[in-house]
Structure 1
């Protein structure tokens, strides 16, 4: 299970709405630490049922390495607005266009990072237009659909959302899970305080969860398409993962000719399970990409 991050932004970071050509998106923007030579900027995309706060544990360490990091809530995710009921607004191509708009609004080429679902959206953005990106890191994000066990979890969630309110679904999740797993399991959520968790859950638009949950269950293998893009790639995961088998991530890295990092003592959320090692791996990879 992931260790929940704090809801408090890291020192020096600023939470605000990033204005783009496709609307406003809630971000946590962490600048380079005082006295450190700036090296670059990274755009961080969270996973299914997650949010920008999932990257809080990484941002201070990355700031100290010279990287500004901007973690974002996607359309209809937590504090970013989106249609309540229109699933077509959350088609993968639409979300990928949002990422391109976010990168454009930052005004500089960025290192792109996607966690789980965020990795598949990041991949789609790169396949649309690689120009805004200096590199792509796929964190605990596999080549195609999620595991059968996770597909079953998503189906249960989608079935519940079709007939229940978000508040009622939250209560059902709490009743079904043991106390240590009430962060909605390995669907990328995880904040320690239950009030904050509930507030984040209720901030999600049902149509966004329905649409992106289905995407996770039917995503085709697009690794060959991505391998044809001339960018540096990084595949990072924990040493265990029940959303995509680690062996699948190993194979994807080989197919992409990507740098591969396995973070020990981490599962599906290395960013919260072992944030210092994860941040070090990100920065080391970005340093090499910048040197190119």
Structure 2
């Protein structure tokens, strides 16, 4: 967690993507600080099953696991002294952030989602994704983290991370290869998109300000964000040129500019 003396920003609580780490946010954090306009507190914990964060035992996959993970995140925020932070989530972390914001909107000043989805509404498609996640989790344990990471980084949605600048890209890949495959497998089984309760029908009730960020080259999640923006009462959708799915790290300066503009709008509404 980083701290400085900025008082015009709310604290930021950032949730990373699958197989990632809180340290993955360093390019964005540095881009914000480089202009002297970043948050006073930027907290980015490792999510359950990642890094040193343990899995959550004895919880059922899906809603129960999302609630338990959300409770863990809220407890971490409270211990860190984060009062009504701006909640930022990327991909898997974005799904968790959206679920948490819908559960406890009063705990957050605003929500920023990067390449995130409210889940899969169609039951057959959701079941197919659950099967895919289950197979990927089994392969993780059977083949080991090195083989998984090599395959994962060739996935079309992940391959655009090649444009993340050094030294961050190499550090991010090295951290991925230090993950415990059993923890990642648990995360897929308990918190994957296939078992996530779809949240589309609840978006209209989320009244806190929301910024949706997607990469211009991430057609799937840009389309999802456009649909979400039509349903959320206070949402803005920003598309970052020259970026794929991991838009905030592939184009951190542009993401930082979008965040500054969003926070400026929040301050003008106070």
TM range (shorter): 0.7 to 0.9
Select the residue among 202, 224, 227 that pairs with 1:225: 202
Is 1:80 aligned to residue 57 of structure 2? no
Is 1:253 aligned to residue 229 of structure 2? yes
Structure 2 Cα separation of the partners of residues 105 and 192 of structure 1: 31
Structure 2 Cα separation of the partners of residues 206 and 187 of structure 1: 21
Structure 2 Cα separation of the partners of residues 283 and 127 of structure 1: 24
TM-score by length of structure 2 reads: 0.79
Is 1:135 aligned to residue 110 of structure 2? yes
Offset of residue 205 of structure 1: 4.9
2:97 corresponds in structure 1 to 122
2:139 corresponds in structure 1 to 160
- Larger % of helix: which? 2
Q: What RMSD in Å do the two structures reach over aligned CA positions?
A: 3.3
Structure 2 Cα separation of the partners of residues 77 and 129 of structure 1: 24
Change (3 A) 1:39 1:174: closer
Structure 2 Cα separation of the partners of residues 116 and 158 of structure 1: 18
Select the residue among 211, 230, 236 that pairs with 2:190: 211
Q: What do the CA deviations read for 1:25-71 (whole angstroms, capped 9, x no partner)? A: xxxx12236xx555321100011112112211011232321412111
2:166 corresponds in structure 1 to none
Structure 1 Cα separation of the partners of residues 51 and 155 of structure 2: 15
Change (3 A) 1:184 1:72: farther
Q: Which runs of 5+ in 2 are unaligned?
A: 163-168
Greater than 6 Å deviation, 4+ residue runs: 187-190
Question: Contact (CA 8 Å) 2:206, 2:232: kept in 1 or not?
Answer: no
Q: Which runs of 5+ in 1 are unaligned?
A: 1-28
- Larger % of strand: which? 1
1:93 corresponds in structure 2 to 67
Change (3 A) 1:118 1:267: same
TM-score by length of structure 1 reads: 0.73
Structure 2 Cα separation of the partners of residues 173 and 289 of structure 1: 41
Change (3 A) 1:138 1:176: closer
Select the residue among 38, 42, 62 that pairs with 2:12: 42
1:71 corresponds in structure 2 to 44
1:238 corresponds in structure 2 to 215
Change (3 A) 1:37 1:248: closer
Select the residue among 61, 85, 96 that pairs with 1:110: 85
Structure 2 Cα separation of the partners of residues 174 and 228 of structure 1: 38
Question: Contact (CA 8 Å) 1:226, 1:256: kept in 2 or not?
Answer: yes
1:186 corresponds in structure 2 to 158
3-state SS in 2 of match to 1:290:
helix
Structure 1 Cα separation of the partners of residues 182 and 3 of structure 2: 26
Change (3 A) 1:189 1:170: farther
Once the two structures are overlaid, the 10-residue window that deviates more, 261-270 or 118-127, is 118-127
Question: Contact (CA 8 Å) 2:22, 2:44: kept in 1 or not?
Answer: yes
Question: Contact (CA 8 Å) 2:10, 2:109: kept in 1 or not?
Answer: no
Offset of residue 174 of structure 1: 5.6
Q: What do the CA deviations read for 1:163-189 (whole angstroms, capped 9, x no partner)? A: 62xxx3324336657xxx358963998
